[in-house]
Amino acid sequence: MKVGFMGGTFDPIHYGHLLAAESAREACGLDEVWFVPAGHPPLKENGPEADGESRLEMVYRAIDFQPHFRAMDLELEREGTSYTIDTIKALHELYPGRTFSIIIGTDRVNDLPQWHEIEALAGMVSFIGVTRAGETFRPEQLPKYITDKLTLVDMPLLDISSTIIKERIAAGRSIRFLLPEKVHSFIRRNGLYEPE
Ligand code: ATP
Ligand code: MG
């Protein structure tokens, strides 16, 4: 079984994440995409604003009734920094017989060489880079052990980010139709991301 691994802080999840996952699934013939909210992401300057439980709940709401999408809480359960290689090792043990492809936006593809134990990780998975609005991706700057494992997938560009959504909430603006309605209502009901 071919599984797409969609990591992220999902603070909050939005249509950019969902369309990236679906585009990768279709283009690469993935059986499923697993959404894995990060506990403590290593390459982000600030930690997530919403707690892990709320971020996971928003992922569940976003993928509800999608037969090919699943959410996994294993990074949230783990203490310390979330390194993808540790998660992939754990998934291989828990779910033998799966092959994993890590789905990332092109804004993050050029960071791959900085990932923890990247050479070992590249030996265990493949990478799917999905085009992200406003990003120029430079494959010539990547080492061969990554480009050998990298497939690029186009998606209709969606200029949506969690940052933009939080900025709009802080400014009292609408976030409707940037993310699924069930996520929108959860954010509103719980007052998430609103200024103190
Ligand atoms: P932030 O603004 O906090 O960085 P984000 O919207 O970029 O949030 P992340 O959790 O950082 O979301 O992203 C998880 C993954 O989803 C990354 O690989 C990222 O490139 C990808 N991604 C996020 N938004 C989009 C989008 N609009 N189009 C394509 N890929 C996206
Ligand atoms: Mg990001």
C-alpha span between 178 and 181 (Å, rounded): 9
Query: Is the minimum distance from the CB of 13 to ligand 1 under 6 angstroms?
Result: no
* Mean pLDDT in residue range 38-60: 87
Please report whether residue 10 resides in a domain. Answer: yes
Please report whether residue 196 resides in a domain. Answer: no
Please report whether residue 45 resides in a domain. Answer: yes
* Mean pLDDT in residue range 41-65: 89
Query: Is the minimum distance from the CB of 107 to ligand 1 under 6 angstroms?
Result: yes
Structurally, how many domains does the chain consist of? 1
Which is more confident, 78 or 194? 194
Q: So what's the ipTM on this one?
A: 0.99
Predicted confidence (pLDDT) at residue 43 exceeds the cutoff of 80: no
Please report whether residue 50 resides in a domain. Answer: yes
Helix locations, 64-178, DSSP H: 74-77, 84-94, 106-109, 118-124, 144-147, 162-170
C-alpha span between 101 and 5 (Å, rounded): 6
Which residue is closest in CA terms to ligand 1's atom 25? 16
Domain with 60 in it: what CATH number?
3.40.50.620
Ligand 1 atom with the smallest distance to the CA of 9 is 10
Please report whether residue 195 resides in a domain. Answer: no
Q: Which of 55, 87, 132, 168 to mutate to test the pocket of ligand 1 (most atoms within 8 A of CB)?
A: 132
Q: 154 lies in which domain range?
A: 2-189
Please report whether residue 54 resides in a domain. Answer: yes
pLDDT digits (tens, 9 = 90+) for 133-159: 887 788 888 999 999 999 999 999 999
Confidence of residue 77 (pLDDT cuts 50, 70, 90): confident
Please report whether residue 180 resides in a domain. Answer: yes
Please report whether residue 145 resides in a domain. Answer: yes
Residue 22 pLDDT: 98
Span from the CA of 161 to the centroid of ligand 2 (angstroms): 7
